[in-house]
């Protein structure tokens, strides 16, 4: 699998746009690749495929967004309306012997590729991925997209909001993922070196098993988690690829399932 690498814009003052790195048209082609766009695609790839694909659309977007941010042409929390409003999707269709993966922004395909899979003798018919992504799976995706981030209070608040949404109860399990996140955030406040701090991957890598209950992610769940993360962040922002970002990506993917 390969993906076109970002080409240098004609002018040093111009950001890398979607049309520079992907075969897209219309207004999307003229939009700069923003950091939060890349974070959403990274979360979507991880949620559906288990990891970010090397050389895939998410990696290409991250490379372009990083260059745009370093050049001062976009801000770290910037997101285009194409990704934020119209959505980022990763779909997977299984057919005998292979799976077809399509990644899109605002309905336009950024990349499509085929991966071989074992042929099932039990079900030779074409099937499409229908299983909705759960809150636990979205939290585990965060361990992939932002796993090296030290757990802070905004993370703990977002994880608690996610657990409450998953269980339908405001009672926090002492052995659950929310309690572990709060403990990690409290412990990290007394540490000065990031390498000594508890990371998101330490808390979320087995989130599904630690949740007392689980459910498919909805847009309302994503909004609640995002609100909790922002309220507890001094900058009133969410972390790219973090808890709120992963839950939002999962919600969008679930809405795209027919």
Percent of the chain whose pLDDT exceeds 70: 88
What are the residues whose beta carbons fall under 8 Å from the beta carbon of 123, sequence distance 6 or more? none
Work out the mean pLDDT of the chain and round it to a whole number: 85
Residue 130 has what pLDDT?
47
Question: What burial class does residue 84 get, using C-beta atoms within 10 Å of its C-beta: 0-12 exposed, 13-18 middle, 19+ buried?
Answer: middle
What are the residues whose beta carbons fall under 8 Å from the beta carbon of 4, sequence distance 6 or more? 21, 22, 60
**pLDDT tens string 230-239:** 999 998 888 8
**pLDDT tens string 92-133:** 777 667 777 888 898 888 988 777 776 554 444 444 444 678
- Reference 214, options 128, 150, 131; nearest CA is 131
Question: What burial class does residue 143 get, using C-beta atoms within 10 Å of its C-beta: 0-12 exposed, 13-18 middle, 19+ buried?
Answer: buried
In angstroms, the CA 199 to CA 62 distance is 22
Residue 164 has what pLDDT?
96
Q: Residue 257's pLDDT band (boundaries 50, 70, 90)?
A: low
Q: Residue 3's pLDDT band (boundaries 50, 70, 90)?
A: low
Percent of the chain whose pLDDT exceeds 90: 50
- In 132-233, beta strands by DSSP E: none
Among 135-139, 140-144, 162-166, which is the least confidently predicted range? 140-144
The answer to pTM > 0.85 is no
Residue 124 has what pLDDT?
43
79 token code pair: 């997101």
In angstroms, the CA 199 to CA 202 distance is 5
């Amino acid at each position: 699998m390969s993906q076109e690498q970002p080409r240098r814009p004609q002018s040093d003052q111009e950001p890398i746009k979607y049309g520079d790195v992907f075969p897209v048209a219309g207004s999307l082609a003229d939009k700069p690749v923003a950091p939060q766009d890349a974070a959403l695609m990274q979360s979507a790839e991880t949620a559906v495929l288990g990891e970010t694909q090397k050389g895939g659309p998410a990696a290409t977007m991250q490379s372009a967004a990083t260059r745009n941010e370093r050049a001062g042409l976009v801000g770290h929390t910037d997101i285009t309306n194409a990704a934020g409003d119209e959505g980022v999707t990763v779909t997977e269709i299984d057919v005998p012997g292979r799976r077809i993966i399509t990644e899109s922004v605002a309905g336009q395909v950024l990349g499509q590729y085929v991966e071989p899979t074992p042929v099932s003798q039990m079900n030779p018919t074409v099937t499409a991925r229908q299983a909705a992504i759960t809150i636990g799976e979205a939290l585990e995706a965060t361990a992939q997209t932002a796993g090296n981030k030290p757990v802070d209070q905004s993370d703990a608040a977002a994880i608690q909001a996610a657990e409450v949404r998953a269980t339908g109860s405001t009672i926090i399990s002492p052995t659950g993922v929310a309690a572990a996140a709060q403990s990690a955030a409290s412990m990290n406040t007394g540490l000065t070196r990031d390498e000594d701090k508890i990371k998101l991957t330490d808390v979320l890598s087995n989130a599904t098993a630690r949740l007392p209950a689980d459910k498919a992610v909805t847009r309302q769940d994503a909004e609640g988690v995002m609100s909790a993360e922002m309220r507890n962040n001094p900058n009133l922002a969410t972390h790219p690829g973090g808890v709120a970002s992963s839950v939002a990506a999962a919600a969008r993917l679930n809405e795209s399932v027919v």
